[in-house]
């Protein structure tokens, strides 16, 4: 199995990853967000991609998700751990916390969300009952337990369009729908990985409370401060995952 890490806001590079090379790719769906970076962590080789580009410049609704995922498949990747900055909705989802969602609700629109759109021989419907790989989620949770990192092991990720943050009423609606987290990049990334039969799981790093849950306006200074703490935990979690004996990489 070959593991890829997709880094979101606050994670354009991984401390502790020894870079061994990088590669640009052209895909049938255009150019990925950035070059694919090859590296080693704890003696294990992996592929890293900065979802928003490096430097961070591509907003969530403009990311070429199809090119990003297709390129990883082309490189022989079989597993993807997607790291994402999110807002907290559920009571346990305080800023700086990490959650490993097991469900997702898609509120985004207008995105190129499938590989099965044109020149088809037959219509394809993927099963998306469990949008995140149970086996890969279990490995992430195991890594958290081994490293002593506090996480919430389940949760529902609500994917909004962005790039603006949500209104108080939108967050209230999402809470009523059962969302614990709100982000802008979870879809169609998860579904595209499933279409290419890649194992995919998400590490959500809570950067702020959703609108109306915390006090006052949400500021970028607040988000950046919380991400510095949360992404540090996420990197330690990734290191712990690469130490697991059942994780076989290239």
Q: Is 112 helix (H, G, I), strand (E, B) or coil?
A: coil
Question: Is 185 annotated as ligand-binding?
Answer: yes
Is 51 flagged in the annotation as binding? yes
Write the pLDDT tens digit of every residue in 219-243.
888 888 988 888 889 989 999 998 8
pTM of the predicted model as reported, rounded to 2 decimal places: 0.91
Residue 119: φ, ψ to 5°: 55, 45
3-114+130-242: which CATH architecture?
3-Layer(aba) Sandwich (3.40)
Query: In sequence order, what are the beta bridge partners of 232?
Result: none
Please return the burial class of 217, using the count of CB atoms within 10 Å of its CB with bins 0-12, 13-18 and 19+: exposed
pLDDT in tens, 122-173: 778 889 999 999 999 999 999 999 999 999 999 999 999 999 999 999 999 9
Q: Extract the tokens encoding 116.
A: 């099965």
In the chain, where the domains are located: 3-114+130-242
The pLDDT tens digits for 49-96 are: 999 998 889 999 999 999 999 999 999 999 999 999 999 999 999 999
């Amino acid at each position: 199995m070959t593991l890829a890490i997709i880094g979101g806001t606050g994670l354009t590079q991984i401390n502790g990853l020894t870079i061994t090379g990088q590669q640009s790719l052209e895909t049938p769906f255009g150019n990925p967000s950035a070059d694919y970076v090859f590296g080693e962590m704890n003696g294990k080789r992996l592929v890293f991609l900065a979802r928003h580009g490096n430097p961070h410049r591509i907003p969530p609704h403009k990311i070429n998700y199809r090119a990003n995922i297709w390129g990883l498949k082309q490189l022989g990747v079989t597993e993807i751990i997607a790291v994402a900055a999110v807002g907290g909705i559920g009571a346990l989802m305080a800023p700086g916390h990490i959650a490993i969602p097991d469900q997702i609700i898609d509120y985004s629109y207008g995105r190129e969300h499938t590989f099965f759109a044109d020149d088809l021989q037959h219509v394809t419907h993927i099963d998306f009952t469990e949008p995140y790989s149970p086996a890969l989620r279990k490995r992430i949770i195991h890594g958290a337990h081994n490293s002593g990192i506090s996480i919430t092991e389940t949760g529902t990720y609500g994917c909004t369009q962005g790039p603006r943050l949500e209104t108080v009423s939108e967050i209230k609606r999402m809470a009523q729908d059962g969302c614990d987290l709100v982000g802008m990049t979870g879809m169609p990334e998860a579904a595209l990985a499933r279409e290419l039969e890649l194992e995919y799981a998400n590490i959500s790093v809570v950067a702020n409370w959703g609108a109306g849950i915390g006090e006052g306006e949400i500021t970028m200074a607040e988000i950046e401060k919380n991400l510095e703490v949360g992404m540090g935990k996420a990197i330690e979690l990734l290191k712990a995952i690469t130490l697991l004996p059942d994780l076989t990489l290239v």
